[in-house]
A = this chain, B = another copy of it.
Amino acid sequence: MSSPTKFVLDESKMPKHWYNIAADLPVPPAPVLHPGTMQPVGPDDLAPLFPMELILQEVSTEREIPIPEPVREVFKLWRPSPLVRAHRLEKILGTPAKIYYKYEGVSPAGSHKPNTAVPQAWYNAQAGIKKLSTETGAGQWGSSLAFAGSLFGLQVRVFQVRVSYDQKPYRRALMETYGATCVASPSNETNSGRAILAQRPDHPGSLGIAISEAVEIAATNDDTKYALGSVLNHVLLHQTIVGQEAMLQLEMAGDDPDVIVGCTGGGSNFAGISFPFIGQQLRGGKKRRIVAVEPAACPSLTRGKFAYDFGDTAHLTPLTKMHTLGSTFTPPGFHAGGLRYHGMAPLVSHLKELNLIEATAYHQTACFEAGVMFARAEGIVPAPEANHAVKGAIVEALRCKAEGRSEVILFNLCGHGHFDMTAYQNYFAGKLSDQSYDEAELAMALSGLPSVPA
């Protein structure tokens, strides 16, 4: 216990560039296709939704993309985030492994999401945009964009899935504290929302519907753009500051990770911690195991098909090649709302196909068990999403114990669970379900994938 616990970088050491893994890929990822023409989309196709700087980042193959100075100034409110050696967890597990976690819960919104919300808001403000629209489920992304919007004077309108809007009022209160407007989706504010409400006035909503509403608002209003919190290349790019910082902090600690673990929903926090390390390997550096941990109830990487699919249920988005459960797939209820997505980021999917990463899946009860062990050892109560990474790290640490190896394990603790205590209550009450997805529904959803000419 006499070795240091936290490795803290001075803010002058905060990375000045994002790392773009596209520069180092041995094979480029499949192009994004326009669903009408089946031809690759160009910048102009995306211009109604995003400012040009973000579109250029989406397709860039430059290795280093500068982080604008005003964005770095905002990051200094909480970045560099701490890297912590989990001494107490190691001791409880009796493992010879060293466990480090990068803690992103120190951000104002409590997760890694502001790492991309802030630059997205800034680039939009620079382009003269006055309003942003987005969707959110449980509210991690919505509250992050609300925070970012408040910094640059952007009005943020968040379409929140109605069932979350009703059941989780605290994240909504957080969005409102940052000055954003939160609307229950489906709403009467859009054609897509009105069409759904006409059929079913008490519709509980879905992320797919909320995306459709947010996209419609952006596409039909010149002063409004759309913002997405994961999946896209530029979003993953913005998260690479996490792994770059971790690399510097592990140098301070005199360690080099053998295994890197992250949870995966859309893929952004996993990409953030791992891409800079994968890039090192691609440029001839150390080979490491990179483990993506996903929920067994929504297992796109481990059970999905690598194919072209839509990003939303209403089929308004372009087609991207990714691991997908099918855009109509509905996972059973579980508490890691941030991991309930039918697809996986195209870049993460591509790395999986190249065998540069591994993937594994766990049910939520095992993940909460890991999270509670972590909280009692290290103090921090992880978000339900982050519990998947904790579980993955503990599995690796116990493997090291069994094999007598003192490997170095790094995982991304991507957020705290302060707004998710209902999930912990349910866990303690024995009310968590480990229900699996419906195999027939998965088969049905996969059978509906769009057919794309080879």
Contacts and interface: CB of A to CB of B under 8 A. Distances in A.
Nearest to A118: B379
A177 B108 CA distance: 23
B5 A424 contact: no
Interface in A86-134: 87-88, 106-110, 114
Contact of A84 (B77, B418, B419): B77
Interface string A413-451: 000101101101100100000000000000000000000
A4 interface: yes
B173 A428 contact: yes
Contact of A5 (B11, B88, B107): B11
B77 A5 contact: yes
Contact of A177 (B87, B381, B422): B381
B424 A88 contact: no
A151 interface: yes
A169, A177, A372, A418 — most chain B CB neighbours (10 Å): A177
Contact of A424 (B4, B177, B422): B177
Nearest to A169: B425
B106 A381 contact: no
A383 to B, nearest CB: 12
Contact of A170 (B73, B380, B421): B421
Contacts of A84: 77
Given A5-B11, A8-B8, A106-B106, A379 B77 contact: yes
A406 B87 CA distance: 44
A381 B174 contact: yes
Given A378-B77, A379-B77, A418-B419, A424 B8 contact: no
A6, A10, A114, A173 — most chain B CB neighbours (10 Å): A173
Interface string A1-38: 10011101011100000000000000000000000000
Contact of A1 (B12, B73, B379, B428): B73
A36 to B, nearest CB: 42
Interface size class of A (residues with CB under 8 A): 35 or more
A76 interface: yes
Number of this chain's copies in the complex = 2
A150 B114 CA distance: 32
Contact of A422 (B11, B150, B173): B173
Contacts of A170: 418, 421-422
Contact of A4 (B11, B87, B174): B11
Contacts of A106: 106
Contacts of A376: 150, 177-179
A241 to B, nearest CB: 16
A375 interface: yes
A147 interface: yes
A345 B88 CA distance: 35
A364 to B, nearest CB: 15
A79 to B, nearest CB: 9
Contact of A421 (B150, B173, B416): B173
B110 A418 contact: yes
A372 B177 contact: yes
- 7 smallest A-B Cβ distances: which pairs? A108-B379, A5-B76, A418-B418, A170-B421, A173-B421, A150-B376, A173-B425
27 contacts: A1-B73, A4-B12, A5-B77, A6-B11, A8-B10, A8-B11, A73-B87, A77-B84, A77-B378, A150-B376, A169-B422, A170-B422, A173-B421, A173-B422, A173-B424, A173-B428, A174-B421, A176-B424, A176-B428, A177-B372, A177-B375, A177-B376, A177-B421, A177-B428, A178-B375, A178-B376, A416-B418
Given A5-B11, A5-B73, A109-B379, 8 more contacts: A1-B70, A4-B12, A6-B76, A108-B378, A108-B380, A169-B422, A173-B421, A177-B372
